[in-house]
Amino acid sequence: YDAKIALRTGIAYDTSAVDDKNRTATIPETDRTWLSIGASYVATPQLTLDAGFTYIFAKDATINEPRDASDATSAQIGGAFNGEVTGNVWLIGA
């Protein structure tokens, strides 16, 4: 045990604010699981060093984005967009 060192861990599950029907390619929002670890070290009474790492597992999701018939530009490039979104994120801070 060392009073100068603090270790932290965390896990979180974050549900998407966007359902499958309203997901877009612009913001491919999905449910996520967060895993985090961090540490602090008190070097002096005036200086504390902190570091943290988070890995976010994003759930794979489907995007079905129709285009409005009045949108001439999107009609020229094929209209609707249908696809899958996948991705994960690293967050590092110090």
**Tens-place pLDDT, residues 70-85:** 666 666 766 677 888 8
pLDDT at residue 79, as a whole number: 67
Q: What are phi and psi of 21, to 5 degrees?
A: -65, -30
Residues of the chain with pLDDT > 90, as a percent, come to 55
**Tens-place pLDDT, residues 3-37:** 999 999 999 999 998 888 888 877 788 999 999 99
In angstroms, the CA 76 to CA 56 distance is 37
